[in-house]
Structure 1
Amino acid sequence: MTNSKRRRLTAASALLGGVLVLTACSSGSHKAAAGDEDSSQAKADAAAAKKSSEAQITITPKDGSDNASINNSAAVTVSKGTLTDVTMTTQSGTAVAGRLSADQKSWKPTGQLARSTTYKVAATAKDSAGLVAHENASFTTVSPANSFIGNFTPEDGSTVGVGMPVSINFDKAITNKAAVQKGVTVTSTSGQEVACHWFNANRMDCRPETYWKEGSTVTLKLALDGVEGASGVYGVQQKTVTFKIGRNQVSYVDAKTKQMKVTQDGKTVKTIPISAGSPEHTTYEGQMVISEKFKQTRMNGATVGFTDDDGKGEYDIKDVPHAMRLTNSGTFIHGNYWGGPSVFGSVNTSHGCVGLQDVKGAGDANMPAAWFYNNSMIGDVVVVQNTGDKTVSPDNGLNGWNMDWAQWKAGSAA
């Protein structure tokens, strides 16, 4: 290699080295700048944190929820602070009333929410330093199509006869019967065992083995909120109902003797002549529970299948007095003013009902029908005997007493 070539190579190496050094120095200068920026950002974050509230607001149901409960699910709570303002509105802007706890740590609506409604919640809180925090959420409650309710009898606070079962009719078919039944409890101060029986996918009745103890108190608890009764269909009820059992009154109708003995606590207090169903239209036999009372009501044969050739009812009485329902299919025990006094206690003439002597207008309290009406209550038992007809179906009215205890318990989903 010549001296001139050696000098050019050395110069090139020096230049390359300079470039490499320069590149290395450039890299080092960038790291130093980034470090300065990180330090500045950390200081800024720390300063911002000092200005942020420590109050932590929680809104339930969480933002974006659907199928939310209409009962107790909506709430706002705060930790490390106190709530200063909570507003809850429907999508249309209607305000929802609520109550703030005494310690200002929680807020809840005061009433039940509406189904199939979107609600917006805005909450403000402050911490001990007075720094303010905000939180917002929206959720949609369960729709009628995706929820079920149970319509129950008897009513809360009522006094009923010893034969009154708890009867619940659900507005949707229940496929998950075990879960729903688990959410229903019926207890009595008498200590009697209570069992529930499913007649079908919509109806469940609950009763003890024998009639309720007179003077006892029965409590029905519905804990169905959020319970999935069928696929995608949830309960919305959270309710406690109590009712009292009155005196023990059971009346015995004998279609053969055409007399009714009214007993209280096992003792006969009155015997009343009756007229039951005719041989062509016999009255059901069995234990029947009074489910409704009407001082006067209309009865038309067409509603229960008794029609003339023209399709009109064989009878249409617009003012049947002192009527009390015994079955869903139309069996009543009621006053009769159109039959002569000699009919009662002598001949069975009705289309299947049990008739007692009465007057038009239901205005004479001395009539046998008026006495029985005034001394009867929802839940009293009327036992009909010797008609020659079949025993009434247990699900035809509130008449589950016509099923023995083993069969009754076999219909439980528990």
Structure 2
Amino acid sequence: MEKRVITDSKRRRVLMAASAVLGSVLVLSACSGDGDGGSGADGSKKSQAQVDEAAAKDASKARIAILPKNGAANASINNAAKVTVSDGTLTQVTMTTAAGAAVKGTLAADGKSWKPDGQLERSTTYKIAATAKDSAGQEAHENSSFTTVSPANSFIGNFTPEDGSTVGVGMPVSINFNKAITDKKAVQSGITVTSSTGQEVVGHWFNAQRLDFRPDQYWTENSTVTLKLNLDGVQGANGVFGVQQKTVTFKIGRNQVSTVDAASKTMTVTQDGKTIKTIPISAGAPDNPTYNGRMVISEKFKETRMNGATVGFTDDDGKGEYDIKDVPHAMRLSTSGTFIHGNYWGSDGIFGSVNTSHGCVGLNDAKGAGDPNQPGAWFFDNSIVGDVVEVKNSKDTTIKPDNGLNGWNMDWAQWKAGSAV
């Protein structure tokens, strides 16, 4: 029997051939799996297109949209948050803060939209999860998260008068912004002030943070004035946006204007053009005369403290030249400290005879609760915020229009020149 000798080179060729066959088997095995879509119930193969078609049949046709978009920053706190759906109806919407506090909202009767019930908080992250169904009952889900505008990136306007109040005919709408406004036109365009009588009302910027509105002449008595703040999303300065969306209405009362004659030391009070009372007064002394001009009562205090040191009247020791802890029936006429008020410390003989004050207008009055028939008490009881007190024949200059609510000391052309629109 012949012996066959297998050399090393032959052995290597045999092993290589075997490996090639085995590799082919493995490749065939790998290619014959479920990569082409798997097998049907009858063992037939499914293509990827068939799998996608089946998944599409199971997917909901409802399309949910959430605003603000996911990841949004500096979102509005008013109307930005909203969930809507097309080709379906919303079945559940939840909105929470990042800390988990629930936010109440209302789903529309037709199930097509949802929105929160109230204003959102600034500098807060909110999460919204929504579920909807299509006509076949298939569900769709959507989630979103956004952050509202921060105080650092927003501004508000503090305004007077208050909503629902009744004020005098001289009361302007005065808005003080908590940040400097550089785009005055954009901000003023977002504010409207109208009167039920149709009076033209124009805004005037005193500085970058104060905007007042008034008509040419005093408001018509017994009219209604409406202030609308549509500042939500309005950019007032670089990266600083408004957040207010508010409507305010107030009433104008009877037309009361009181004229102080510093020379004759009397005050004549008129209502609706008729004189109802003449009162003796004591105005500013020659060294400290009272401002001339039209001044609007901005605050009323039944009793208040007046210290000369707060307005620059000090003695050599730095103490106030006066410090009266219980000044009765005081009504503010200027930011700088001009008041019309009751005076119980002066003798009765000064009223109507001599000017003795540091710039205020004093009326004879009694200490404490006082007598309602005393001039100081009577004038207080018959005056409202917004009434006008006009001083004439004083030795001082006319009060500046921005010193208090006293824009009436600027003529109409000058007033309109300060408008940004």
Q: What TM-score, normalized to structure 2?
A: 0.89
Aligned pairs for 1:241-390 within 5 A = 241-390=248-397
| Contact 2:254–2:271 under 8 Å retained in 1 | yes
Q: How does 1:53-72 map to 2 (within 5 A)?
A: 53-72=60-79
Q: Which residue of 2 aligns with 1:111?
A: 118
Moved more, 254-263 or 338-347: 338-347
Could you tell me how far 1:265 is from its partner in structure 2? 1.1
Match of 1:174 in 2: 181
SS of structure 2 residue aligned to 1:261: strand
- SS of the equivalent of 2:207 reads coil
* Alpha carbons 1:296, 1:362 under 8 Å: kept: no
Distance 1:208 1:310, change over 3 A: same
For residue 83 of structure 2, what is the aligned residue in structure 1? 76
Q: Deviation at 1:36?
A: 7.9
Query: More displaced, 90-99 or 331-340?
Result: 90-99
Which blocks of at least 5 consecutive residues in structure 1 are unaligned?
1-25
Q: Which amino acid aligns with 1:87?
A: T
Task: Output the CA distance in 1 between the equivalents of 2:100 and 2:366.
Answer: 58
Q: Name 1:19's counterpart in structure 2.
A: none
Correspondence list, 1:184-203, <5 A: 184-203=191-210
Is this contact kept in 1: 2:60–2:139, CA < 8 A? yes
Residues 80-113 of structure 1: CA deviation (Å, up to 9, x unaligned): 1111111111111111111111112111111111
Q: In 1, distance between residues paired with 2:119 and 2:37? A: 57
Per-residue CA deviations over 1:331-364 (Å, capped at 9, x if unaligned) read: 0000111111111111111110000011111332
- Tell me by how many angstroms 1:308 deviates: 1.6
- Is the 1:277–1:350 contact (alpha carbons within 8 Å) kept by the matching residues of 2? yes
Q: Which stretches in structure 2 are left out of the alignment for 5+ residues?
A: 1-26, 39-44
- Quickly say closer, same or farther: Cα 1:97–1:363, change in 2 above 3 A: farther
What whole-Å deviation, never above 9, does each CA across 1:268-288 have from its counterpart, x for those lacking one?
100011010011111000000
Match of 1:133 among 136, 140, 151: 140
For 1:160 and 1:336, locate their aligned partners in 2 and report how far apart those are by CA, in whole Å: 25
Give the distance between the partners of 1:107 and 1:359, measured in 2 at CA: 62
Segment of structure 1 superposing worse, 298-307 or 283-292: 298-307
**Matched AA of 2:167:** V
Distance in 2 (CA, whole Å) between partners of 1:310 and 1:362 is 34
Other structure's SS at 1:169 match: strand
Tell me if the contact between 2:364 and 2:375 (Cα under 8 Å) persists in the aligned partners.
yes
CA distance in 2, matches of 1:101, 1:318: 59
AA aligned opposite 2:231 = L
Amino acid at match of 2:374: M
Letter of the 2:165 counterpart: S
**Partner SS for 2:408:** helix
Q: Write the letter of the residue equivalent to 2:59.
A: S
Partner of 2:11: none
Aligned length: 387
Residues 172-201 of structure 1, C-alpha deviation per residue, up to 9 Å, x if partnerless? 000000000100111111111111100000
Contact persistence 1:171–1:202 (CA under 8 A): yes
Instruction: Find the aligned partners of 2:112 and 2:304 in 1 and give their Cα distance.
Output: 56
AA aligned opposite 2:55? A
C-alpha distance after superposition, 1:42-96 (max 9, x if no partner) = 1111111111111111110000000100111111111111111111111111111
Contact persistence 1:148–1:234 (CA under 8 A): yes
What residue identity is the alignment partner of 1:300? N
Q: Answer yes or no: is the 8 Å Cα contact 2:62–2:134 preserved in 1.
A: yes
- Are positions 1:392 and 2:399 aligned together? yes
Separation in structure 2 between the aligned mates of residue 117 and residue 306 of structure 1, nearest angstrom:
48
Secondary structure of 1:311's counterpart equals coil
Residue among 217, 222, 239 paired with 1:215: 222
Work out whether residues 160 and 378 of structure 1, in 8 Å CA contact, stay in contact via their aligned partners in 2.
yes
For 1:413, the equivalent position in structure 2 comes to 420
**1:6 corresponding residue in structure 2:** none
**What is the alpha-carbon distance in structure 2 between the residues aligned to residue 130 and residue 337 of structure 1?**
82
Inter-partner Cα distance in structure 1 for 2:329 and 2:136: 73
TM-superposition CA deviations, 1:243-286 (whole Å, max 9, x none) = 11111100000011110000011111000110100111110000
Scaled by the length of structure 1, what TM-score is found? 0.91
The one-letter code matched in structure 2 to 1:90 is: T
> Contact 2:124–2:147 (CA<8 Å) still a contact in 1?
yes
Q: Is the 8 A contact 1:322 1:362 kept in 2?
A: no
Q: Deviations over 1:85-144 (max 9, x none)?
A: 111111111111111111121111111111111111111111121111111110011110
- 1:377 Cα deviation after fit: 0.6
Matches within 5 A, 1:28-43: 40-43=47-50
Aligned equivalents of 1:356 and 1:400: distance in 2? 25
In 2, the alpha carbon distance for the partners of 1:96 and 1:245 equals 39
Shift of 1:311: 1.5
Q: Distance in 2 between matches of 1:105 and 1:296?
A: 58
Query: In structure 2, what is the Cα distance between the partners aligned to 1:95 and 1:225?
Result: 24
Task: Give the share of equivalent positions with the same residue, in percent.
Answer: 76
Deviation at 1:39, TM superposition (A): 6.1
1:122 equivalent to 2:121? Answer no
